[in-house]
């Protein structure tokens, strides 16, 4: 974090632009995972609008803060949508992730089936680390819990996923998305 409150490395337009260039693809990938291709760019735009307005308060490591903001923007968005629309958008996001994989179709189907059997909380826990590339500490910030609580959640989620896969072999994490 910062030494002085209200002082940020992103206070200047050039520094903010550099931060945007470094993080926007990851924020887009997060938004795209939770929303349709039509909605995700609007979510990203709103995230950076909030970030610009609060640029003096941005932490030196802004990605977790930006993902928390994206999560809040998405929650507001989904409060206005039906559950069926949310499920359809979520499935669209999973399909986009699967298309980027180089795994065999059978392996992708097995993983998708096992993943679908997990609770929403377990899926989010695994995706924050495995897809968004956050450290457990950063993911804990996104979910609003302690690093130890997140580590326990992650361990349980991995164990449940392995159980659903029926294969005790460790899972390989996918490459981080580029936001395409």
Determine the pLDDT at residue 84.
58
Query: Token pair 């164990």 is at which residue?
Result: 159
Phi, psi of 40 (to 5 degrees): -55, -45
Determine the pLDDT at residue 12.
86
Threshold 0.85, pTM exceeds: no
Q: Where does the chain have alpha helices with state H?
A: 13-34, 40-53, 62-79, 83-99, 105-116, 120-130, 136-143, 147-165
Determine the pLDDT at residue 116.
83
Determine the pLDDT at residue 107.
79
First CA to last CA across the chain, in angstroms?
A: 31
């Amino acid at each position: 974090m910062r030494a002085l409150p209200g002082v940020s490395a992103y206070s200047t337009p050039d520094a903010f632009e550099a931060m945007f260039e470094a993080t926007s693809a990851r924020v887009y990938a997060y938004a795209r995972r939770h929303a349709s291709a039509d909605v995700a760019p609007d979510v990203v735009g709103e995230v950076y609008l909030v970030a610009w307005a609060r640029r003096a308060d941005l932490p030196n490591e802004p990605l977790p803060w930006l993902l928390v903001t994206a999560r809040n923007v998405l929650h507001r968005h989904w409060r206005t949508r039906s559950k069926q629309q949310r499920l359809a958008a979520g499935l669209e996001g999973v399909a986009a992730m699967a298309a980027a994989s180089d795994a065999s179709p059978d392996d992708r189907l097995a993983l998708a089936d096992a993943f679908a059997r997990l609770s929403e909380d377990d899926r989010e826990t695994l995706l924050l680390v495995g897809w968004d590339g956050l450290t457990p500490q950063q993911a804990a910030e996104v979910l609003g819990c302690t690093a130890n609580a997140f580590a326990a959640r992650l361990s349980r989620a991995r164990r449940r996923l392995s159980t659903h896969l029926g294969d005790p072999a460790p899972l390989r994490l996918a490459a981080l998305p580029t936001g395409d």
